[in-house]
Chain A
Amino acid sequence: MDIPRYWRLKDQRYRLQGKKCLDCGNLSFPPRLVCPKCKSRNYEKYFFIGKGTVYSHTTIYQAPDRFDHIAPYSVGLIDLEEGVRITAQFTDVPAEELKIGMKVEMVIRQIYEDGPKGPILYGYKFRPVISV
């Protein structure tokens, strides 16, 4: 059970909230307390739009326990338009159609259920761009 973690990460999981360094302008996702570029601790919240391109992708056949029942599923590295790369699952796309360079956008989907009686946990996944 990791409900506190999901509560703590809700702004990241639902709204892609990272940070912008007030001294050098560097954008971070996940949020960091120290700017990796200039080491400043002056930050403001920054919300990424959630559009990007596929940097790499894989389809997982042998999954960790918690994800075993949905295998095979696809996970990738996505380069967001703002210049930050994140890790996320893909959705609404067959594995064989995934390609490096493909344009994708963020949607909210179920990530996993925390046991049969636990809560259903939601967060970002990415799908091929369909909206304009």
Chain B
Amino acid sequence: MRKVAIIGLGQTPVREHWESNLRDLGVTALRDAMDDAGVDTVDGVCVGNMLSGALSEQEHLGSLIVDYAGLDGVEGMKIEAACGSGAAAIRMAVKAVGSGLMDTVGVVGVEKLTEYSGKFSTAALATAADADYETTMGLSFVGINALLMRRYLYEYKYDKNDFSIFPINAHKNSIHNPNAMFRYEISEAQYAKSKHIAEPINLLDSSPIADGAAAVIVCAQENISQFKGKPISILACEVGTDTLALDNREDPLWLKGVERSVKKAYYLADVKPKDIDFFEVHDAFSIITALSLEASGFAERGEAIKFADKIGIGIKGGLPLTTGGGLKGRGHPVGATGVYQVVEAAKQLRGEVAKEVQIENNNIAMAQNIGGSGATVITTILKRIV
């Protein structure tokens, strides 16, 4: 395996982009990343996307993006792993470049979730779950996470309002991210009064559906001098899986997919959880942040909230989380999210975020993208190149 690096970054704001279609969002992010890297072509394009077929009546995104990005003839393919599609696409690029099959690969995560009414998008998002045995029982994707949260509250005796620590922190950071959808703070009182989506999950536990695209250019680390972009090393980008359906897991509160993914990533990167300077956690719902902190080895089982409280998850804390606002504050364009997370982490390491949220002396970052209720998990560990 060759060492691989990220040499270019691009992103559109996360918004309800009624004026833009999938291809325009995707091409904008990809071309911005290529400009940042200083390249006019790539050897391949990996497109991370979940719902283009269901919500834009458009599949075949690989060739579509390649065509409209002016890369005619270049190989392009769509990678799908539900909400984990974005980082899954990065994983494919890392494999292609690491193996030596390609030298430079563009990755773009793109999603449009606001074409139809919320009910229709809710049904489309539920296709991440088991269609025969979960979704057709009336379970929504929020509902699956609500089942986890209810059991967590029961087993570990937390008050539901204790979870507010995660969305409050996310919103505090998204204020300083011009690409974030929600740029305002939220309070404990607002959290406590927030309306139920699927009890006990309320609106402020839930990341909002949105449109957006983010892109990175992946190259061989030995070639970084050929580019103008500021390189960041990819120490690991590793996948772990688990049963698709939540009910098929013996211990639903332990995300085995997360554990499998981080074990491989920590091993390859030769780091331990205490070496991670900040963590772009997959905060699709507050409960997932808690379960991820535990299965990733940061907090003991059932202790994620106490851990977050004690170590500090703000910018000056011991483990800053969701420095660009996370899925909660930035917005969650599902198939693009994994790429947004890595773009945010790389910008932090480059020292290119707003000074209010810039972590000083950072060196190693972790981003984790979770598909479904934890059936596909991709953990990426990045390091500054000095």
Contacts and interface: CB of A to CB of B under 8 A. Distances in A.
Task: Report whether chain A binds chain B.
Answer: yes
Interface string B24-42: 0000000000000000000
A89 B198 CA distance: 13
B375 interface: no
Contacts of B137: 75, 87-89, 111, 123
B119 A63 contact: yes
A13 B188 CA distance: 43
Contacts of B199: 58-59, 61, 95
A14 interface: no
A87 B150 contact: no
Contacts of A102: none
Interface in A17-76: 30, 36, 55-68, 70, 73, 75-76
B366 interface: no
B77 interface: no
Nearest to A5: B132
Contacts of A107: none
A64 B126 contact: yes
Given A61-B199, A77-B252, A56 B151 contact: yes
Interface string B134-167: 1111111011001110110010000000000000
Of residues B126, B132, B133, B139, which shows the largest number of chain A Cβ atoms within 10 Å of its Cβ?
B139
B309 interface: no
A61 B219 CA distance: 46
Interface string B112-135: 000000111011001000101111
A112 B154 CA distance: 31
Nearest to A78: B247
Given A63-B140, A64-B126, A77 B247 contact: yes
Given A65-B120, A95-B199, A75 B133 contact: no
A80 to B, nearest CB: 10
A100 B198 contact: no
A87 B142 CA distance: 14
B247 A86 contact: yes
B200 interface: yes
A47 B119 CA distance: 35
Interface in A75-113: 75-77, 85-89, 95, 100, 111-112
Contact of B140 (A12, A57, A60, A112): A60
A66 B123 contact: yes
B197 A57 contact: no
Given A61-B196, A100-B150, A100-B154, A111 B136 contact: yes
Contacts of A66: 123
B246 interface: yes
B146 to A, nearest CB: 4
Contacts of A123: 136-137
B132 A77 contact: no
B79 interface: no
Nearest to B202: A61
Contacts of B245: 30, 87
A59 B138 contact: no
Nearest to A96: B199
B248 interface: yes
B93 to A, nearest CB: 31
Contacts of A67: 138
B134 A59 contact: no
B251 to A, nearest CB: 11
B117 to A, nearest CB: 8
A78 B301 CA distance: 23
A126 to B, nearest CB: 10
29 contacts: A12-B132, A56-B151, A58-B199, A59-B198, A60-B143, A60-B146, A60-B197, A60-B198, A61-B195, A61-B198, A62-B118, A62-B197, A63-B138, A64-B119, A64-B138, A65-B120, A65-B122, A65-B123, A67-B138, A75-B139, A76-B147, A85-B247, A87-B134, A87-B137, A87-B247, A100-B150, A111-B136, A111-B137, A123-B137
Interface of B: 118-120, 122-123, 126, 130, 132-140, 142-143, 146-148, 150-151, 154, 195-201, 245-248, 252
Interface of A: 5, 9, 12, 30, 36, 55-68, 70, 73, 75-77, 85-89, 95, 100, 111-112, 123
A-B complex: 10 closest residue pairs judged by Cβ atoms: A58-B146, A64-B123, A56-B151, A56-B147, A59-B199, A67-B138, A65-B123, A65-B119, A85-B247, A60-B198
Given A57-B147, A112-B138, 4 more contacts: A59-B196, A61-B196, A62-B140, A63-B119
